[in-house]
Amino acid sequence: MTHHDVIVIGAGFSGMYQLKRLREAGFDTVVIEAGDDVGGTWFWNRYPGARCDIESVEYSYSFDPQLEQEWDWSERYAAQPEILDYARHVADRYDLRRDIEFNRRVRSLDWDEDATRWTVTTDDGRSRTATWVIAATGCLSVPSRPRFEGLEDFAGEVYWTSSWPHEPVDLAGKRVAVVGTGSSGLQTITAIAPEVGSLVVFQRTPSYAVPAHNGPNERLAEVRPIYPEFRAASRMERIGFQCDAGTDLLGETDPEEVERRLGLRWDVGGLCFTSEFADVLVDAEANEVVAEYVRRRIRETVKDPDVAEKLSPRTYPIASKRMCVDTGYFEVYNRDNVSLVDLGEEPIRRITARGIVAGDTEHEVDVIVFATGFDAMTGALNAMEVRNGDLTLREKWADGPRTYMGLMSVGFPNLFTVTGPQSPSVLSNMMTSIEYHVDWITAALEYLRANGRTRMEAEQEAEDNWVTATNDIADTTLMPQAASWYMGANIPGKRRMFMPFLGGVGTYKQIGDGVAVARYHGFELV
C-alpha cells in the first residue's frame, strides 16, 4: 500500500494552498479530489449568476505578493467563471496538479493506533496510508436534496444549482420553476428572469438581501500598493474582511441618525450593511430597526404590495441566517413573466409529470431548478466513514459536532479539519480563515517533526471547554433564533447546534497563535 506523510482531502482553495505549503515544507503529500479539476465550491456551483458576495480584493489568496500584484479581478464581486479561472491559474502557477488525484472520492478513513497512521480508501476501492490526514472538504460541499414526492415523474429538465452541468443549459423561452431563495436561488432567479419564458419562484423563507452595487473593480488599484497592511487588517477583523464596523449602539442613537447611517451603508452595498452599529446581533430591538429598514426598501422596489410583503422576512432576526447580496433581485418581481409562490400559504404537495403542485394549483413548467442548499459544516466529514476502531465520527457527532478549535476532535488523532465546525469558517471571509488554518496546521506539523513526535490529538478537557465556549458565545447573540443552516436546521433530523465560532476571526487568531506558542496547549503530542 502506498504511504504518504500527508493526505489532503479536497482541492478547493483550502486543499490547494495546503498542498503548496506542505510541499514547500518537505512533506510527501497527495491530494484526493472528487471533481475533475481544482476549485471546490467554484468548480461545482456554476449556475447562472453565480458570484462571490465578498469583494474580490478580500476573497483571494494573500500568501504570494506577486500573485496579488499580477492577478486582475475585473469586478468588485467576482463571478464564478473568473474565480474558477483564478483557481486554475493557481494550480498551474505552482504546478499543483501533479500531486492531486482527481475523480476520486474518499469513502473511509481508518485509524491504526499501532502503526500511527490512517488508511484512506477511495470509491474506486483503492487504499493508501498516511501519517496525517487533512480534511479540506469544505463547509458547503454536500448538497441538500430534499425529497419531493413525484419528482421522478417530472417529464421536464431538473437542475440543482450545487451541481450545475458543465455544458451550457438553454433556458431561453422556457417555463422555469426555481425552488429555494437563499443566495444561490436569488442569483439564479435574477440571472435567468430576462431570458426565460416564465419564471415561478417557490419561496419557503424570504431572505434579507442588500444591494451589491457591483461594477468595475476600482478598489484593486487602491489596495494593491498597500496589500500587506490591508491583509493584516483583514486578519484581525471579526469577519475576516474589512467592514469599518461601528462601535455605537443603535439603541442609543437618534432615529434620524440611524436612518442616515443605514442609508450610507445601503449605498455602499454588501454584507457590511449590518456592521454600522455594534448591537444589531445582540439586541432584538436594534435588530428589528435594521430589519425593518430592509423591508421598507423591498416595499419601495416591488410594485405589488402583496408580493412585497411575501418577500419581506419577518420570522427571524436580520443576519441570523446568511444574508444575500443582490443585483436587482427584488426588481425581478416587477416583470410580467415572474411570479412568486409563498410556500407558507401554499406548500408543495407533489411534483407531477407537468410541474409542481403547491396548495391547490398545479404550476406547469418545462424546467425545475432546485437551489435548496447544503448539509453545512459537518456534511462532508460525516459523508465519509471516519473510524477509530468502534468509534465513528458520525456517532460521536450525533448530538452536534465536538472539536477543539474546529481543528481536531478527540478520538481521531492526526486528523485535521480546515475551517471545521467551531471555527469562524462560514461566518468569515473563507479565504482569511482557510489561510490561517493551513498556516497553523503546517506550522504544527513542522513543530512535531522537529521534535520527533508522530501523533497529535485534542485533549478532552480542551475540547469540552471549546464546545462550551462556542455555544456560550452564540447564546449571547440572536443567531440561534433562526432555523438556519448555521444551526443545522435545514437538514431533517440533524441536531440543532450553532456550529461556527462567533467570537471573531481576529480573536480566534489570537487564541490559535497563543495555543501554538504554548507548544500546542490542549493537544497531546506523542
| Residues near ligand NA7 (CB under 6 A) | 140, 146, 179-185, 204-205, 322, 343, 371-373, 485, 490
Please provide residue 72's backbone torsions phi and psi, each rounded to the nearest 5 degrees.
Answer: -100, 120
Sequence length of the chain is 526
Q: Rank residues 15 and 185 by Cβ distance to ligand NA7 and give the closer one.
A: 185
Rg from Cα positions in the chain: 23
Q: Rank residues 122 and 181 by Cβ distance to ligand NA7 and give the closer one.
A: 181
Q: Where are the alpha helices (DSSP H) in 409-459?
A: 430-450
Q: Rank residues 260 and 314 by Cβ distance to ligand NA7 and give the closer one.
A: 314
337, 336, 342: which is closest to 365 by C-alpha? 337
Smallest separation, CB 146 to ligand NA7 (Å): 3
91, 120, 103: which is closest to 16 by C-alpha? 91
Q: Rank residues 209 and 462 by Cβ distance to ligand NA7 and give the closer one.
A: 209
Smallest separation, CB 120 to ligand NA7 (Å): 28
Q: Rank residues 372 and 433 by Cβ distance to ligand NA7 and give the closer one.
A: 372
Smallest separation, CB 346 to ligand NA7 (Å): 12
Q: Rank residues 145 and 396 by Cβ distance to ligand NA7 and give the closer one.
A: 145
The helix, strand and coil proportions of the chain, stated in percent and rounded to the nearest 5, come to 35, 20, 45
Residue with cell 439586541: 283
Residue 339 CA to its chain's centroid (Å) = 29
How far apart are the C-alpha atoms of 466 and 421, rounded to whole Å? 11
Smallest separation, CB 203 to ligand NA7 (Å): 7
Residue 74, C-alpha cell as written in the block: 475585473
Q: Rank residues 242 and 429 by Cβ distance to ligand NA7 and give the closer one.
A: 429
Which run of H or of E encompasses 20?
Answer: helix 13-24
Smallest separation, CB 225 to ligand NA7 (Å): 30
Measured CA to CA in angstroms, residue 270 lies from 75, 171, 454 at distances of: 14, 29, 45
**DSSP E strand stretches across 393-441:** 415-417
- Is the separation of the CB atoms in 33 and 100 below 8 Å? yes
Smallest separation, CB 426 to ligand NA7 (Å): 6
171, 225, 224: which is closest to 194 by C-alpha? 171
Q: Rank residues 343 and 473 by Cβ distance to ligand NA7 and give the closer one.
A: 343
Residue 495, C-alpha cell as written in the block: 441536531
Smallest separation, CB 269 to ligand NA7 (Å): 16
Smallest separation, CB 259 to ligand NA7 (Å): 28
Smallest separation, CB 184 to ligand NA7 (Å): 3
Q: Rank residues 181 and 388 by Cβ distance to ligand NA7 and give the closer one.
A: 181
Smallest separation, CB 428 to ligand NA7 (Å): 11
Q: What is the DSSP letter of 495?
A: P
Q: Rank residues 307 and 371 by Cβ distance to ligand NA7 and give the closer one.
A: 371
Q: Where are the alpha helices (DSSP H) in 269-364?
A: 284-301, 305-310
Please provide residue 179's backbone torsions phi and psi, each rounded to the nearest 5 degrees.
Answer: -110, 120
Smallest separation, CB 237 to ligand NA7 (Å): 17
DSSP calls for 128-139 = EEEEEEEE---S
Q: Rank residues 61 and 160 by Cβ distance to ligand NA7 and give the closer one.
A: 160
- Is the separation of the CB atoms in 495 and 379 below 8 Å? no
Residue whose C-beta lies closest to ligand NA7:
182
Strand partners for 178? 201, 369
Residues 6 or more apart in contact with residue 184 via CB below 8 angstroms: 45, 47, 50, 161, 162, 371, 373
